[in-house]
Structure 1
Amino acid sequence: MNRILRAISALLLVGLVASCGGKQEQPQSRFRSYDGPPITQIVVKKGERQMYLVSGQQVLRSYKINLGNQPLGHKQFEGDGKTPEGMYFIDRFNPRSRYHLSVGISYPNNQDRERAQMMGLRPGGDIMIHGLGPEGRAINRADWTAGCIAVNDDEIEEIYAMLARNGHGTTGVPVFIYP
């Protein structure tokens, strides 16, 4: 009987000590909610390193961005390090992105494919708006992507939520990328 009482006392003591650790911080989910106006277009100004999320005529948010590692000019082929220019569309959402979260841009279009084919090359693809990823890559280096548009992880969470509209991915939003 004495052993049982000591065991119960020990368990209670361990439970009491464990509860003294204070409130455990839960990691913040990267999936936010958004119930504001719909995003009707995204405008990227490569020369200014700025991206704007627009609803109708109103800019709702602006972000400082990083681009491909060869930012001048339109993407011509896979591996050129350029970010495309022109009109594209949001075409997918990746909640398991290596770069925290990512939103796909519809590059390459038919013109991009034809241009690359004329050079005997592949146009590349998988162009995304994404976060920093595993090493916080852009902390000490500008224009580090392979052609994507990068923002910080907090910003991609906000962008993802604004475009996904509470979990319902809104594809088809036009993306205008200017030099």
Structure 2
Amino acid sequence: MDRRTFIAAMTCFSLLPAAAFARKIKPYSGPHITRVVLNKGERRLYLLSGTKVIKKFKVGLGGIPQGHKQFEGDGKTPEGSYIIDRRNPGSKYHLSIGISYPNAQDIAFAQMHGKSAGGDIFIHGRAGENKGRGRDWTAGCIAVKDRHMEEIYMMVALGTQIDIHP
């Protein structure tokens, strides 16, 4: 390919919208997801409709996976019952859904120790550049493969309960 052809091809390529290369997220039409359960020890996230497991996913956790998150910066993933309370389609981790950590008990415990409970705990993708960082690499979030995050994002509605077990 000569230089002019190469430059013309690259110019045409740069004019195409990035959306033309983005993955199409498929809408979900299955059973209503009533609860999300994370078993930290198994590194598994379960999406349930009633008592039936609809989907399960392998996950990565905070850098220190054992124990309940107590303070900002402790590298732990929370344990307990929370709510899916926000969605972030523009997340730097591909997509994300927020967990309502910290609750009143988490805040009170941290304040009793003169610290912040932290926050911004999400279920999110890996966003490519985080591949190869090992299994437990987040600051306390729950990480899944990007393609799995697309499914979770479409399946789990705001207000869904999430139970996080050791």
- The amino acid that maps onto 2:144 is V
- State the number of aligned residues: 150
Distance 1:138 1:103 in 2: 20
User: Alignment partner for residue 152 of structure 1, among 145, 149, 153?
Assistant: 145
Long gaps (5+) in structure 1 = 1-13, 19-25, 164-169
- The amino acid that maps onto 1:88 is Y
Contact 1:68–1:148 (Cα < 8 Å) also in 2: yes
Contact 1:95–1:102 (Cα < 8 Å) also in 2: yes
Larger Rg: 1
Distance 2:111 2:97 in 1: 26
The equivalent of 1:47 in structure 2 is 41
- The amino acid that maps onto 1:61 is K
Q: Does 1:178 align with 2:165?
A: yes
Query: Given the two structures, how large is their TM-score scaled by the length of structure 2?
Result: 0.86
The equivalent of 2:17 in structure 1 is none
The equivalent of 2:4 in structure 1 is none
Long gaps (5+) in structure 2 = 1-7, 13-19
For 1:1-179, list aligned pairs within 5 A. 26-135=20-129, 137-163=130-156, 170-179=157-166
Contact 1:66–1:138 (Cα < 8 Å) also in 2: no
Larger helix proportion, structure 1 or 2? Answer: 1
- Aligned to 1:63, the other structure's residue is in SS state strand
Query: Given the two structures, how large is their TM-score scaled by the length of structure 1?
Result: 0.79
- Residues 16-70 of structure 1 deviation map (CA, whole Å, 9 limit, x = unaligned): xx9xxxxxxx424353311111110000000000010001111010000000001
Distance 2:41 2:131 in 1: 17
Identical aligned pairs, as a percentage?
Answer: 55
Contact 1:53–1:61 (Cα < 8 Å) also in 2: yes
RMSD value, Cα: 1.8
1:140: how far off? 4.4
- The amino acid that maps onto 2:74 is D
- Aligned to 2:68, the other structure's residue is in SS state coil
Give the direction of change, closer, same or farther, for the CA distance of 1:144–1:30 in structure 2 (3 Å limit): farther
